[in-house]
Structure 1
């Protein structure tokens, strides 16, 4: 056998061996890629993404697309070395250490459950932001976000319950609940008035001692009683980053005329009830997903602008998003061709 033939044979064997090893060896990384997009003005499986009942709605045009990041890997389904290598080569994909997505002390299931809760909370916040923008009043309530195992509330109060009173005193803010409980002594009884769906009940328990402070083991978050029903259907999507796009979709459906003017708009960003837009992760992959879906305008949280500018796809215009009201004025300027449109470049 010639020296050249032997070299080729050995090289081929090494490549084959590396390929086999790469396919068999798992690595602690997660691959992030452009995920599916959904038009908040459209339908999923023949059901509207945003369904409003009990209030007049209006026809819409164009699109207001939420964008997502798909991930592959995790503690219970690690990727192999070849998958990671392909991700490192592809500029539209990010390969990140597993612990940046899944903290060592939390399981993959716990992270996914938290993402689901964050999505539900973001929908409520988005509805509140839209109604605030439209000057439609609603009531604030206290919602149970979670219950600590082994504490007095465990088994008596459930996630999703609404706390309407404490020891007979009506409450509408989380601080009010905390103030009443902290005024007790560890071991004192406290009674929570709870609304669970359509059921109303009183739950009495003894406070536990936590460093000399009385606690019941309830984690709370602000909630809302809206004057009409807003139902949001996004399938398997989790996390809070679609809040801005939900708010815009709700506003568009509740107001005459088309907010988009028929334009193909995508975007991302968390939203507070006051309408402040917050930063998100995965901006490069989300921009690619938006462009692939036909969007020409991308609403970008101000804090993500610098990162977005480094990898913006051709044909996608970045509009800086700081508040819901500011974004609406920017879209109006884009549609009319008049007025200033805030840009990530300035």
Structure 2
């Protein structure tokens, strides 16, 4: 009994024994903590790059969120078949979606990802909101131009006037021209198209005065307007914008897609709906490219990613701006035929050829 009492007193005096961490476990715990901190830092520290990946691909004859992408009223329309897809790029980087070190490392192992300096895609000092506003504005302009090109190509008339949208503070024209003026003529040449202004002004010597007639508040005003030299071109120091009277209502629902690169494919889809027969002949086309009022197909970015996205979506043929063909070298997915185009008219022509089974001799990248 005495021995038992001593044992109890000893336990009460020194307390229960504690098992300490072994040195190996201490090292493992420290390493784990370092790894957690490192991963957290890799997700917080940003890299000044932009990462491009394939984005969503949309059939213009399909729907977005249950609503048709393309609807036309006020003009006769025709059934279509096949697909005319516009392609997009998913981009991380810039003020809206800065790239973390972890994302940057992951992109290096992604075959479809392209890593560029952020300065290639974003201007310094521009906010995320400003980037979004610019993208939205560019898409709005692209839709309007696509409508004009397609409607005119289908044989419908789209009257147009050119308005003064902005007058620079130091404009050579001074206060002669005002915002809202409709330009009726320049040097006796009637102005009824946006490209006519460039054609006429291309013949004017910088510094010379130009005879202009503008419509202001419903009255014609005759002016002699001085010009200035801008890199060898005669300019007034104003901004102009076209205003159209559309013969039919064309509604486009493109979701939250921004930028101008869907212009060419939108114009083709509108044209297809307005003309007899299926333009594609049931084939699956995708593509990209800006479109100007005179039908010129312009350059875009991210062609490599758009090719990958198009093929994943099932496209057989891809319409690419001729000016961007170099981007396609070595990046054309198996089963996808890339056709280079430089104008709306050429795009219509090659699509018709493919639809008719003429798949040889097409201009490729």
Scaled to the shorter chain, the TM-score interval is 0.7 to 0.9
> Which among 309, 334, 337 is matched to residue 357 of structure 2?
337
> Which among 129, 132, 152 is matched to residue 112 of structure 1?
132
Distance in 1 between residues matched to 2:69 and 2:182, nearest whole Å: 26
In structure 2, the partner of 1:260 is 280
> Which among 145, 156, 163 is matched to residue 125 of structure 1?
145
Aligned-residue RMSD, C-alpha: 4.1
Distance in 2 between residues matched to 1:252 and 1:130, nearest whole Å: 9
Question: Where do 5+ consecutive residues of structure 1 fail to align?
Answer: 185-190
Assess if the C-alpha contact under 8 Å between 1:87 and 1:94 holds in 2. yes
Matches within 5 A, 1:287-306: 287-306=307-326
Normalising by the residue count of structure 1, what TM-score does the alignment of the two structures yield?
A: 0.77
In structure 1, the partner of 2:251 is 231
Higher alpha-carbon Rg: 2
Matches within 5 A, 1:234-253: 234-253=254-273
Distance in 1 between residues matched to 2:335 and 2:34, nearest whole Å: 43
Q: Deviations along 1:23-53, whole A, 9 cap, x unmatched?
A: 2212222222211122112222333222222
Normalising by the residue count of structure 2, what TM-score does the alignment of the two structures yield?
A: 0.73
1:105 positional shift: 4.1
**Cα pair distance change 1:225/1:164, threshold 3 Å:** farther
In structure 2, the partner of 1:323 is 343
In structure 1, the partner of 2:9 is none
Deviates more, 1:312-321 or 1:101-110: 101-110
Assess if the C-alpha contact under 8 Å between 1:298 and 1:316 holds in 2. yes
Matches within 5 A, 1:267-278: 267-278=287-298
**Cα pair distance change 1:279/1:76, threshold 3 Å:** closer
Assess if the C-alpha contact under 8 Å between 1:330 and 1:342 holds in 2. yes
> Would you say 1:49 and 2:69 are equivalent positions?
yes
> Would you say 1:96 and 2:116 are equivalent positions?
yes
Assess if the C-alpha contact under 8 Å between 2:51 and 2:93 holds in 1. yes
**Cα pair distance change 1:105/1:150, threshold 3 Å:** farther
> Would you say 1:29 and 2:57 are equivalent positions?
no
**Cα pair distance change 1:275/1:101, threshold 3 Å:** same
